Amino acid sequence: MKIALLGGTGHLGIGLAVRFAILGHDVIVGSRKLEKAKMKAEEYNDILESLGEKARVRGLANEDAAREADVSVFTIPWEHAFSTAEFLKVALKDKIVVSPLVPMEKRGKTFYYTKLPEGSAAEKLASILDSKVVSAYQTIPAEKFARFDESFEWDVAVCGDDEEAKKIVIDLTNQIDGLRAFDAGPLAVSSMVESITPLLINIMVRNKMKDLGVKFVYKLRKG
């Protein structure tokens, strides 16, 4: 599958790009500027080579990356994501778009979730795009995710209104060793998932913790 990491230059973009490439997907790193995309792709290819992997990723301008990809992940700071979505609206028409966006602000020493008029960042993205928007990856500790010599066990809540698109994102997520995806419902509940991120950050800061993620513990019902 062709997967684009739009603005994929942060820790989440690195982690997804390298891991999806290792799994055999055609990974495209997108950026506003082609030169930066190619430079980042080379950095990720150096990581792949250091891991003994033959897989490689490509760098393209965001518009070309979005046009080529089957699935595009918005690994862009949320403040810039919506203007980027406006620019890429045609290229992303009818495509699967993954939103890991978390609108939040810091007041004093505490992070707060910023509730948007549309309900959530994912819903705002969906209001702009004619795409199948799926919400996922907000609670992944991005810095650890970008380190490839450590193991992890994290769960990922996935929200979306298009059931087929949501299933594809769940299946892609489950391919990554250490991640387990769950169907969390429609896009309208994305704010519940997005708001977990500032909570995790606050817990880490106040309790001197690192790389805090989410794990759902449950018992299967009988019958």
117: tokens are 């008029």
Q: Which sign, positive or negative, has the C-alpha torsion 115, 140, 25, 38?
A: positive
Matching residue, tokens 């759902």: 216
Indicate the pTM of the whole model.
0.95
Q: Write the pLDDT tens digit of every residue in 14-47.
A: 999 999 999 999 999 999 999 999 999 999 999 9
120 pLDDT higher than 90? yes
Longest dimension (CA), the chain: 57
User: Would you state the pLDDT for residue 219?
Assistant: 80
Q: What are phi and psi of 190, to 5 degrees?
A: -60, -30
In SS3 terms, 169-216 reads as HHHHHHHCCCEEEEEEECHHHHHHHHCHHHHHHHHHHHHCCCCCCCCC
User: Would you state the pLDDT for residue 21?
Assistant: 98
Matching residue, tokens 């690195």: 14
User: Would you state the pLDDT for residue 223?
Assistant: 64
The CATH number given to 2-207 is 3.40.50.720
> What is the 8-class DSSP label of residue 221?
P
Q: Please state the domain extents for the chain.
A: 2-207
- Cα–Cα distance, 62 to 76 (Å, whole number): 11
50: tokens are 């250091």
Name residue 103's amino acid. P
- Cα–Cα distance, 120 to 77 (Å, whole number): 15
